């Protein structure tokens, strides 16, 4: 299944990631790379679902995740657009980092221990790609 507009391809084979996750990851990657520029209007949930042969709920779930990550923004009846690059993501990352710092401080970890824990987690996450 693929989308000609967004150049999205969904792999339906066994062992592949869930369709909503494939969709979320591909839109996020294209937005980060600039292939989908800030302000680009995305298809409606129903329209993209039909184009990809997916359930509307699958596309809606991907859009909700992308909006929570600050990658896209919904402007009511005007549609869904790629958000300004980095603004939402940077804000979200700063908030997560602050929460992490507060938590490790409460746990009594030293700064070096906290940095080591974060580094291990980041390396594991990015290696999984």
In the predicted model, what is the mean pLDDT of the chain? 88
Bridge-based pairing state of the strands 80-82 and 72-74: antiparallel
Which of 50-54, 56-60, 106-110, 124-128 is least confident? 124-128
- Encode pLDDT of 100-117 as tens digits: 998 999 999 999 999 999
29 and 72 Cβ atoms separated by less than 8 Å = no
DSSP label at 42?
E
> pLDDT at position 76, please?
87
> pLDDT at position 1, please?
56
> pLDDT at position 99, please?
87
Reported as a pLDDT band with limits 50, 70 and 90, residue 127 is confident
> pLDDT at position 88, please?
62
Residue bearing tokens 């990809």: 52
Q: What spatial distance separates the first Cα and last Cα of the chain, rounded to whole Å?
A: 21
Residue 30 has pLDDT above 80, yes or no: yes
* Among 35, 29, 44, residue whose Cα is nearest residue 81: 44
| Between 2 and 33, the higher pLDDT residue | 33
> pLDDT at position 70, please?
86
> pLDDT at position 87, please?
62
66 and 27 Cβ atoms separated by less than 8 Å = yes
């Amino acid at each position: 299944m693929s989308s000609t507009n967004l150049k999205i391809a969904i792999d339906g084979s066994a062992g592949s990631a869930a369709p909503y996750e494939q969709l979320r990851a591909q839109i996020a990657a294209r937005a980060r790379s600039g292939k989908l520029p800030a302000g680009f209007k995305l298809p409606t949930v129903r329209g993209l679902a039909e184009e990809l042969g997916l359930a509307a709920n699958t596309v809606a779930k991907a859009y909700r995740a992308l909006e929570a990550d600050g990658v896209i923004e919904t402007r009511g009846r005007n549609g869904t657009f790629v958000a300004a690059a980095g603004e939402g993501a940077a804000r979200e990352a700063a908030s997560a980092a602050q929460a992490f710092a507060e938590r490790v401080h409460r746990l009594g970890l030293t700064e070096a221990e906290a940095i080591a824990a974060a580094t291990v987690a980041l390396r594991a996450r990015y290696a999984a790609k």
